[in-house]
Structure 1
Amino acid sequence: MVRTASIALALIAFTVVSASAEPSIFWSSDPVGPDETVIVTGDHLDTVTAINIDRVPDGASNAKPAATQSVELLQQNAQSVKFITPRDLAAGIYRFTLVYPQGTMSKRLNLPTVYWSQTARGDTVSPGGTIQVFGRNIVRRSAAARLVLVPEAAGQPVALPAASGDLWRGSFRVPDTLPLGDYRLRLSNGDGGDDEFVDAGRIHVVVVAAENGRTFNVRDYGAIGDGAVNSAFAIRAAVDAAQQSGGGTVYLPRGRYLMTGTLMLPPGVSLRGERTDIVNLVWQDAENPPEALIAGTTNFAIEDLTIYASRHGPIVTGGFLKDQPLPNASDIAIRRVRVRASAFRGHLTPLQTYQRMFYLEQHYGQYLDTIRLTGDRLTVSDCDLVGSGRALFLLKATNAVVSGNVLNNGRFGWYSITGANRVIFENNIVAAADLQGTGGTVNNLWTDVTGSENVIFAHNTFKSMYGWDREAVGTDGGGGFYFGPVSSLAPDRLSLPGPANEQIIATTWVGAIVMVADGLGAGQFARVARFDPAGDDKPMSVSLDRKLAVNLDATSVVTIVQMHQNYLVVDNTFEDTGVAAVFYGTGLNHVLAGNVSVRTGGFFARGMFYHHFQPSWQIQILNNRITEGNAYQAGPDRTTASGEALIAVQAVRPAGLMKQPPLVRGVIVRGNRMDEDSHIEISGVSPVFPGVRDVVVEDNVIGASRVGLVIDRGVQLTTERRNTVNRIPR
């Protein structure tokens, strides 16, 4: 008990010493242009007496600064303040200054906010390769934007111009003559001067080791390729020869190769056809199909061939051993592969169909995958997939690229990106090949996954999804670790009185996100670096991956949940889906921008109680378009039988759990165009316990709608300006 008392005294001393009335800034919304509203969140912002703003000059750092202007403080309170940028400020980087009794504090808007950097090989690139940078305000002026590579050792920095880019991403080509070594990345988006570069990560410039150039033609090992004689033994012999020689390419010339069993690809071996349309691997109907048709553990590729299968298990698996991910799996590529697999071929009676469905349910549940991969540096490109379940399952994928594919989900099928970090999902067509197929999610539904982050969905088409909840792009992760009071033991260590949540999916807390939901320090977040369970004389505690700017006290409430952060859903087309995109709690720093919706339920940002308190913070819904808003069996959970599509910001709480902090904080809904039968809804439900706070609804155009714009009394601190609403009679 002596130890408990000493901890309590230390807490009191810590709180007194760290108390301060000076303001802190946690987040400010951008991108932002002239005459647009900015949300600033932080602590002690009610002490701010004035806000001044100026535009940072472009060019040399000694350029003459622009005149400073004063702006009005809007909806000011301890946790947030809003202001409108002056109309006469030209587009660019802005600097705003908070004035308070003890001094001033400045921050810049429209600087690059780098979420992550990625190459085709993760954080490694070869001379002549490309580095991509993702986030907000990445390229604002393409002619002036540049990525500077600063050598960690001796040498001169090298500036790379932007090969292409926009607000959300930029591509930069590495010179062929760049010296090998380690570099720090510094990014300018083209606005501002020399002081407006930001860190953008690190990169290793190396020469990629040449692959084993030996080729093993399956015809030399007895494969006939006539579609009648079993070629499995001969192809396995070619694979074995490649493995014994240290790797190489197993080559299949034109032909139809009859297969049985699982074809295992060892590390360093590639399976390559002469051309996708003239090389077919054919697995016939089998009472007990193999665990996978083609499988490998690490460092293998499948290219330029077509796979046919009837009754089947997973088509291609990589990085797994007995359904569990291998810890060091990497460098798996599936390129230009066509799959035509159906467990329901033939003249099946309803009873036979049911029996096959029952078999699949028993053996695979909802997880019969066409392509199933885990590991680092994964590539699925230019494939055309039709299977009986999920088109694609990526588990704990890092530095993955899914590009240029046609992904057809089968019966009860969906795509699943689980526990991701740095995933590019672009230029794909995603649809359902079965009326019971649906879309997919980024999720944390795995026992040792505590977070998913840094994912971009760009320039994809999602269409024709009629099964399940019909989500084209969604986030998911039920449960959580802790919700309740907290106190600071140190700036990076918190005491949790308990109890822990019993509804926990993950088996570890490390990597989960800690979000301060209420009280002193609300709006801050960090990640769990270590969890210490309760002991006889001490409560639970967590150590954080960084220090909090404001220490917490008896008023503070935190939620600790599986993390979702830094998702970019930009420039996609959605057609005939239940929702176009929905961010369920937990969500942090997501962007929905430039998307087009046709006959979907619309776009949603939701904080919710999904077996746990799961907030949604700092979400921006920008410049999307809904062309045809008719929604049928649509919306999250198919709650709209027939109605209008909508852009919605919602706090969703059961009736008995209204007495909670706001679930949604800091949302921008700007520049969206809604042509027909669609509207905007901001809903916090309870005026006594508002579920949503700090929202800007600005410069949106709502066409013919029976609803228009709805902001209910459960929304606290909303700025609504310059929206055009065309209401029609109900």
Structure 2
Amino acid sequence: MSHAIGAPLIWWVSDYTLANESALIVGDDFGSIAKVKLESETGLKDIEIIQQNNQQLSVRLPATISYHSHALRLYQPDLKTFERVWLNAPKIDWLQGDMGVKTSTGQGWLQLSGKNVDTLNLQDAFLINKTGKSYSLSLKESDPWHAVFNLPKQIPVGSYQLKFGQKVTQPTIPPLEVFIVNQPTDFQQRVLNIKDFHQSEDSIDHTIAFKTALADLATHGGGTLYLPAGHYRLSNSLFIPKNTQILGDGNLATHLIWSKIDKQESIALINLEDNTRLQGFSMYHDDAAFGINSPSDRVINNVHIEDIVIRMSAYRGHPTSEMLTKIYDQILKRFSNKLDTIRLQANNITLKNNDIYGTGRSFAFIDSHGINIQNNKFYNGRRGWYSFSGCSEIIFRNNTITGADLMASGGGINTLGNKVSSRNLYFANNTLGMFNGWDREAFTSDGGGASYFGHVQSHKENQLLLATNLRSKGLRLTPYEGAVLFVVDGKGVGQYAKVISMSENLVHLDRKLDVALDNSSKIIICPLQENYIIVNNTISDAAIGIQLYGTGLNHVVYGNTSIRTGGINLLGLWYGGYQSAWYTLVAHNALYGSANTRKFNPTRTDLHTSNITVEARPRSTDELNLVYGIVIRNNQLYQNNGVSIIGSQNARKNMDAIFVDPLDN
């Protein structure tokens, strides 16, 4: 139905919601709503309104309904005019396949990630091409947050639309674009055996043999370098050419051992290019270096790392305390605490069934998109942490991350290094723990900085004229495509849009806002972090279990178990500029025990409680909604753990639309 004048506008709904649970609906013009009814197969049912004002409406679903998409009618006082809003309607945040974003091979897979995914007709999913021919997909698994399909074996290369059989009790979702491609490389086009290149019985060093074989593959456009079971000693870095696979007989059989490398040539043991694959061997080194690396000056494509064991430590042997201090200082000076066992800047990355232990950070992905990381073991070393920076479309599932040093920390996803955005993370069924160093954050978002906080001078369609010239404030203007604009106070509060471009004081948005802004409207423009689905993880022994620090939009924290951590934190704050935490569901998590703080305080005998904390930290007396649209319900809080809502004592307004259901938590 079309939107009626004076009818409420819907900007966010706190999906997903089960029977007898509360839902928060955020938007505009809810003040006149007189009654809410649920459309059902047996007719209309009255729904309890829990709280209501002009920007928000909270309701409770009946105890007898099943989980699927539900339509609510929001009635005006005449009890005839109504606006329909959907609960548990499917929302697909992104589509990812075995060849990256929206892309798969025949015989490959596709994963949908989002909210209420399993309310779709997943058993009737199909790809249809431009001629109208359709190919049915086989559902492998699904839950509210994702669905995985296997593709038919004989599907031709081309562009397709993914569609689903329509359910009557559900809004229609637009078709999703999918590309089917061939494998980029036939690694079997040329297969070389490393033993054919190492024929000197007098030398135990295989470096020349590896370089000769890799040069041969580079000359012929790629192929496979096969490493039979055995030990291969190396004294320099390896550079893997495009379209090349290094294949061993398994990580317990094939071993690569580096005595040293020429760090003027490379600081990594193995350097990758486009369309490269590493599989089935172990790597060893006793000095400070990267393990697996890609070029830092560009983004490569299609990297696959499987069944690899890495064991690297700069502290092996029997060093004296003076030697330990010297090694540690040299690492800090040269690598700035970013000594990475795996460091990649690539599109379409696959890591599976690996076991990664290094001196510093277990992995760092920079400006990478289409990342699939499953069934790995990662160990953070001294002052080590894991990092996704400026990345998007990430599946991180069934992995273990362990602090393997008393100074090891956790990690997370960020926009550090002036990244404009990080988006679309499916972080599920992982086990994280034993983080005793540094900030001790098992999972956190991060990335300071913002471009604008202030009033709007004028607004027309998708263009805003700011009240202050950006350059006069010394703020960064470009590149800013993909940043987010929040309306944090005044007319139109609660709306957001993405930035297409910015100039001196003119901002172009990706869409028209429902409510036009005026000079009472305050906005923030800052880096975007959105669509983090953090579900069903087990986290232990950390100062912070899960933290959304600064900019956050449309996140889900659901079904996680926290043991001896500081709990779950959501913060909107001044962090080199204002950053808002908006529209997040925190539900069905279990918090056990308490955690010591980041640093032990001998004057305290109590432990830091493991709470769910929502906090706004404005600068001085600035008035704005740093935290907005947060629902906390059905969490299990043990050993006197609880829920804390913390605002500023200096500012009159710094958060709104926060709903904590006392019947659930």
- The TM-score range, normalised by the shorter chain, is over 0.9
Tell me whether 1:117 sits opposite 2:87 in the alignment: no
Q: Tell me the secondary structure at the aligned position of residue 469 of structure 1.
A: coil
- Taking only aligned residues, the RMSD between alpha carbons, in angstroms, comes to 2.8
Partners of 2:478 and 2:502 within 8 A in 1: no
- Change in 2 beyond 3 A, CA 1:85/1:212: closer
- Change in 2 beyond 3 A, CA 1:357/1:210: closer
Counterpart in 2 of 1:721?
663
Tell me whether 1:307 sits opposite 2:283 in the alignment: yes
Counterpart in 2 of 1:643?
607
Partners of 1:632 and 1:640 within 8 A in 2: no
- Change in 2 beyond 3 A, CA 1:223/1:38: farther
Once the two structures are superposed, what CA deviation does each residue of 1:266-309 show, in whole Å capped at 9, x if it has no partner? Answer: 11111121221122211225795742111023221111111111
Tell me whether 1:345 sits opposite 2:316 in the alignment: yes
Of the candidates 281, 285, 307, which is equivalent to residue 336 of structure 1?
A: 307
Of the candidates 556, 576, 585, which is equivalent to residue 550 of structure 2?
A: 585
Partners of 2:234 and 2:260 within 8 A in 1: no
Moved more, 270-279 or 199-208: 199-208
Tell me whether 1:551 sits opposite 2:516 in the alignment: yes
Of the candidates 122, 126, 147, which is equivalent to residue 149 of structure 1?
A: 126
- Change in 2 beyond 3 A, CA 1:275/1:186: same
Shift of residue 541, structure 1, vs aligned partner:
1.0
Moved more, 429-438 or 202-211: 202-211
Tell me whether 1:132 sits opposite 2:111 in the alignment: yes
Partners of 1:114 and 1:200 within 8 A in 2: no
Letter of the structure 2 residue corresponding to residue 121 of structure 1:
M
Q: Alignment length, in residue pairs?
A: 657
Q: TM-score, normalised by structure 1?
A: 0.85
In the TM superposition, what are the counterparts of 1:362-377 in structure 2 within 5 Å? 362-377=333-348
Once the two structures are superposed, what CA deviation does each residue of 1:298-356 show, in whole Å capped at 9, x if it has no partner? Answer: 221111111111113211102x2xx33x14x1101111111111111122111111111
Q: Tell me the secondary structure at the aligned position of residue 632 of structure 1.
A: coil
**2:603 & 2:248 partners in 1: Cα distance?**
47
Partners of 1:459 and 1:573 within 8 A in 2: yes
Letter of the structure 2 residue corresponding to residue 611 of structure 1:
G
Of the candidates 599, 602, 622, which is equivalent to residue 659 of structure 1?
A: 622
In the TM superposition, what are the counterparts of 1:387-402 in structure 2 within 5 Å? 387-402=358-373
Shift of residue 180, structure 1, vs aligned partner:
4.2
Partners of 2:385 and 2:410 within 8 A in 1: yes
**1:426 & 1:354 partners in 2: Cα distance?**
37
Moved more, 71-80 or 229-238: 71-80
Partners of 1:225 and 1:258 within 8 A in 2: no
Partners of 2:98 and 2:105 within 8 A in 1: no
Q: TM-score, normalised by structure 2?
A: 0.93
Counterpart in 2 of 1:536?
none
Counterpart in 2 of 1:85?
61
Q: Tell me the secondary structure at the aligned position of residue 590 of structure 1.
A: strand
Tell me whether 1:528 sits opposite 2:499 in the alignment: yes
**1:37 & 1:380 partners in 2: Cα distance?**
39
**1:489 & 1:431 partners in 2: Cα distance?**
50
**1:497 & 1:344 partners in 2: Cα distance?**
56
- Change in 2 beyond 3 A, CA 1:331/1:550: same
Counterpart in 2 of 1:237?
212
Letter of the structure 2 residue corresponding to residue 201 of structure 1:
L
Counterpart in 1 of 2:444?
474
Letter of the structure 1 residue corresponding to residue 47 of structure 2:
V
Shift of residue 499, structure 1, vs aligned partner:
4.9
Letter of the structure 1 residue corresponding to residue 466 of structure 2:
L
Tell me whether 1:607 sits opposite 2:585 in the alignment: no
Once the two structures are superposed, what CA deviation does each residue of 1:431-488 show, in whole Å capped at 9, x if it has no partner? Answer: 12211111102000123x2001100111111011101111111100101111111144
Counterpart in 1 of 2:237?
262
Letter of the structure 2 residue corresponding to residue 463 of structure 1:
G
Shift of residue 70, structure 1, vs aligned partner:
3.4
- Change in 2 beyond 3 A, CA 1:91/1:315: closer
In the TM superposition, what are the counterparts of 1:308-323 in structure 2 within 5 Å? 308-318=284-294, 320=295, 323=296
Of the candidates 12, 29, 32, which is equivalent to residue 47 of structure 1?
A: 32
**1:406 & 1:193 partners in 2: Cα distance?**
44
For structure 1, the residue ranges without an aligned partner over 5 or more in a row are 1-18, 56-64, 534-539, 699-719, 724-730
Counterpart in 1 of 2:86?
108
Shift of residue 722, structure 1, vs aligned partner:
4.7
**1:77 & 1:372 partners in 2: Cα distance?**
49
Identity score, percent: 29
**2:568 & 2:46 partners in 1: Cα distance?**
35
Counterpart in 2 of 1:359?
330
**1:38 & 1:116 partners in 2: Cα distance?**
24
Partners of 1:429 and 1:460 within 8 A in 2: yes
- Change in 2 beyond 3 A, CA 1:243/1:33: same
Tell me whether 1:296 sits opposite 2:272 in the alignment: yes
Moved more, 149-158 or 618-627: 149-158
Partners of 1:225 and 1:231 within 8 A in 2: no
Letter of the structure 2 residue corresponding to residue 451 of structure 1:
S
Moved more, 287-296 or 228-237: 287-296
Partners of 2:560 and 2:590 within 8 A in 1: yes
Counterpart in 2 of 1:709?
none
- Change in 2 beyond 3 A, CA 1:72/1:194: closer
**2:123 & 2:509 partners in 1: Cα distance?**
34
Partners of 1:186 and 1:200 within 8 A in 2: yes
- Change in 2 beyond 3 A, CA 1:153/1:598: same
Tell me whether 1:167 sits opposite 2:144 in the alignment: yes
Partners of 1:29 and 1:40 within 8 A in 2: yes
**2:316 & 2:476 partners in 1: Cα distance?**
37
Letter of the structure 1 residue corresponding to residue 191 of structure 2:
T
Shift of residue 140, structure 1, vs aligned partner:
4.5
Counterpart in 1 of 2:658?
695
